Structure 1
């Protein structure tokens, strides 16, 4: 056979080594991504757990609660790790039921924003509400000086109190409409109207009359110190009354939330 008669050889098929290599790298990259995601998730979960435990412990100290007192702590959305690296946590929402306030208990809801990782630095804002239900408000009846109350009823923005005054051989039913307010860390109860034996009359007139000596506490302004049961960083700003509860509004903008600061109780002037 001559050279001209030689048939060309077909090229050998290319081996799939490169394709297998690409597939291997893709799988490895996918596994790496999964590992990173899982690691980030675990790290975020651990960070939130540590932060939640610390906040719980700080509040247990600040509110003089039992170590296992339940509370709901919400650290908000977004990555806590990223926020921590920036030095500030965006927001924290906390709900604590049955917080002792002297002879009564109340439910506390607290929201703080701009919380520094360094607890010795001030937060941006702190807003808190203390909700005292009707049953606990009735326990405050003993706080009215000079008179024993028969009943305490919550209304729309006011508190209705009733008592029976004893004058010689007479028993005189008396009721008062009280408007609560806040002043110097205290819950102030000031009578707005008085009803004696079914007849409405002026507060000043009764206070200066013969019945004034029998129930001066009912006719005069009364103050109940709430600040002494709460951290001094919280200032009572307002009071709202509904038919089911008295809601006390507090603020603490610029407060420092370290344990020592939370442990210091407020005072009334």
Structure 2
């Protein structure tokens, strides 16, 4: 005889009658880990892109800044081209320096630069160079080095008489000649010290070597016989450099060092776009 009982469904409860909590599967855990890993990869890629972008901006910006500086220097100093002009913008980040208002140190080397007909090499060091050209540069120092071979072209400037030789000797320029007195030939050498004289270089007699005897310039001039012979040797003239340099620059000192005649100039607190960088002085016509 068939039973009239209906099948029953048992609902199991845990604890205080709440349904059992379903636990996280291993698949879901792996999925979360994968999302975390992808996020780190994306962040790394973005960081690399940013770094590469900064490097590219720095490199391109530095190259452009160097070209601009080369062209400006060539224009300011009247060079035919920017070839032979090397510009060093320093090791610091240009971006950081630009954000702070300017470049810390700029060094410029010029292979060939003519100073009133004399070939020279030049080094310029500028500090506190602003990004805005209307703002003043903190300091500008410029060293013009003229070799002994080029100095020898100053024969007519160094003396009012013919010279047999001109050479750099220690801290002076030694010029020499031979005077004929009756039947005698008297070798005379004169040490000249270069000094700054406004926009020119003057050569002041320091000592005289007459034969084998060294005497002072004052004693030489007091001797009527000798002064009559050597007067032309002592009549030094000034060598003008104004026509070769911007009026923004001032001659601070002149010296003989390392077998070169070195002219030291400076310009402080003058803006990059100041007209003085484009203007030149004049020199007397020979």
- Tell me the TM-score range normalised by the shorter chain: 0.7 to 0.9
CA root-mean-square deviation? 2.7
Cα deviation for residue 229 of structure 1 reads 1.2
What secondary structure is seen at the aligned counterpart in 2 of 1:22?
Answer: helix
Where does structure 2 lack aligned partners over 5 or more consecutive residues? Answer: 1-8, 13-19
Report if the CA contact (8 A) 1:58-1:262 is conserved: no
- 2:238 aligned counterpart, secondary structure: strand
Counterpart in the other structure of 1:249: 264
Residue equivalent to 2:197? 183
User: Which of 79, 99, 103 is the equivalent residue of 1:65?
Assistant: 79
Contact 1:191 1:220 in 2 (8 A): no
Tell whether 2:243 aligns with 1:228: yes
Q: How far is the alpha carbon of 1:126 from its aligned partner? A: 0.8
Decide whether the 8 Å contact of 1:227 with 1:235 is kept in 2. no
Instruction: Give the TM-score taking structure 2 as reference length.
Output: 0.83
Find out whether 1:119 has 2:133 as its counterpart.
yes
Aligned residue pairs total 267
> Per-residue deviation at 1:32?
0.6
Deviation at residue 31 of structure 1 after TM alignment: 0.7
- SS of 1:240's partner is strand
TM-score normalised to structure 1 length: 0.87
Instruction: Look at both structures and tell me which one has the larger radius of gyration over its CA atoms.
Output: 2
Distance in structure 2 (CA, Å) of the matches to 1:63 and 1:36: 40
Aligned to 1:261, which of 276, 280, 285?
Answer: 276
Give runs of ≥4 in structure 1 deviating > 6 Å: 2-5
Is structure 2 residue 209 aligned with structure 1 residue 195?
yes
Q: Tell me which of the two structures has the higher relative contact order, counting C-alpha pairs closer than 8 angstroms and 6 or more residues apart.
A: 1
Q: Which blocks of at least 5 consecutive residues in structure 1 are unaligned?
A: none
Provide the rounded CA distance (Å) in 2 between the counterparts of 1:242 and 1:157. Answer: 6
Q: Could you tell me which residue of structure 1 aligns to residue 51 of structure 2?
A: 37
Cα pair distance change 1:27/1:243, threshold 3 Å: closer
1:149 aligns with 2:174: no
Distance 1:168 1:243, change over 3 A: farther
